[in-house]
Amino acid sequence: MNAPLVNDSLLRALLREPTPRRPIWLMRQAGRYLPEYRATRERAGGFLEMCTNPQIACEITLQPVERFPLDAAILFSDILTIPHAMRLGLAFETGEGPRFDRPVRSAADIARLFVPDPASDLRYVVDAVALIRRELRGRVPLIGFAGSPWTVATYMVEGGGSKTFARIKRMMYGAPRDLHRLLELLARATIAYLNAQIAAGAQAVMLFDTWGGTLTPAQYREFSLQYMAQIVDALTRRADGRIVPRIVFTKGGGAWLDRIAAIGCDAAGVDWTTGLAAARAAVGDRIALQGNLDPAALLAPPEVLRAEALRVLADYGPGPGHVFNLGHGITPDVDPENVAVLVDTVRGYRPPA
Ligand code: CP3
């Protein structure tokens, strides 16, 4: 039995219930900007070694929660664990980003893929979730996550990161049925994976659609949103006697928030290119919003950072349904002191009466 949750403001805000103050957590809150992260990475030997070792994944997940009064922990893992489990030969070169030895380029490559069994192929993630829940002792909720099928497919087809997405877009235009087969498989794999995370103790889940914003509006609906909708629809709704909120984050998706709100998720992530007031006007009272400070504001002098954070808080306006976050992940060059300033600013904020 896990300890009862002491601070549930994240879960409440994601369901648009009132909270005493705006909850805050930060994408990539466990990462290279923290000296303790860099020390653990040194000891572990590499990024994949950290992800695949539940003790280390747990230790890293807790690092930011122990340093700052954040309102959530997010599982330390990666969106590429699913293709890693499909045996595509994943490696993270230092300073290079991810690389696959066996990228997926043809119908035959797609036909060879399989849905990994979370209980065996991704056991290290499930074990990490259970361990983190135990070690959190109910202080704050634990967020589980996965990549969107479209975003994970971009890495599988390109063989790593990309600027132009030429290979997957060639497939999208030239062999759309093949791409749909790949996305369907990824959707099924993601449903099993996230439901295993929920069963192991994840109290909210988030889909990272980092590259959905590279699509046209029609392509976004057909190749990204459709599959996120299938996933949201198939996720376990309740665990530990509470609703498990689902967050959908499409970077660059500000113009499509109305569509995102319609798929049945509880909250949408918003990047810094869309104002929260405009985002709120688009979704109305259907879903909560999470975001959206420019991550580069963490490079500003502390007074400027405070002012920018207050601007985000005020832009959302009164009433429940806002989870403070960045518009994308923290970068490695951020001073942890500035993260302390940001968390303090958001915790101290009281909306004007
Ligand atoms: O938010 C968190 O603190 C949880 C951990 C988390 C990581 N990756 C750890 C990580 C999460 C939620 C992710 C998701 C992820 N991974 C995404 C979607 C979100 C996003 O940032 O857009 C994507 C596209 C990936 C794939 C990925 N993983 C890339 C492109 C890279 C290299 C970029 C980089 O910053 O080096 C990674 C590596 C990665 N994932 C690191 C961390 C902390 C850095 C690894 C290191 O060098 O120590």
Instruction: Read off the amino acid at residue 323.
Output: V
Q: How far apart are CA 156 and CA 101, in angstroms?
A: 10
- Selecting among 32, 188, 221, 242, the annotated active-site residue is 32
Encoded tokens for 118: 């979370």
For 58, 124, 130, 143, 239, the CA distances from 200, given in Å and listed in that order, are: 14, 11, 5, 12, 10
Instruction: Show the ligand 1 pocket: residues with CB < 6 angstroms.
Output: 27-32, 41, 47, 74, 76, 78-80, 92, 97-98, 145, 147, 161, 208, 210, 329
Note the pLDDT of residue 2: 87
* Encoded amino acid at 119, one letter: A
Q: What is the CA radius of gyration of the chain?
A: 19
Q: Which position among 8, 71, 78, 121 bears the catalytic label?
A: 78
Known catalytic residue at 280: no
CA distance 189 to 116: 6
Catalytic residue among 16, 22, 41, 306: 41
Architecture of the domain defined by 9-348: Alpha-Beta Barrel (3.20)
CA 47 distance to own-chain centroid:
17
pLDDT, residue 353, reads 65
For ligand 1, the distance from its centroid to the CA atom of residue 31, given in whole angstroms, is 8
CA 301 to chain centroid: 27
Q: Which helix (H) or strand (E) holds 250?
A: strand 246-250
Ligand 1 centroid–CA 38 distance in Å is 14
Instruction: Look at residues 152, 169, 170 and name the one whose alpha carbon lies nearest to residue 161.
Output: 152
Specify the pLDDT at position 257.
98
Rounded Cα distance, 119 and 51, in Å: 16
Domain ranges of the chain: 9-348
Instruction: Find all residues with CB under 8 Å of 299, minimum gap 6, and list them.
Output: 331, 333, 334, 338
- Report residue 244: phi and psi, to 5°: -100, 100
Cα–Cα distance between 342 and 303 in angstroms, integer? 10
What contacts 73, CB < 8 A, 6 or more positions away?
A: 25, 61, 62, 64, 65, 132, 136, 140, 141, 142, 143
pLDDT of residue 351: 78
Which residues of the chain have a pLDDT value below 70? 353
**Count H helices, E strands: the chain?**
16, 11
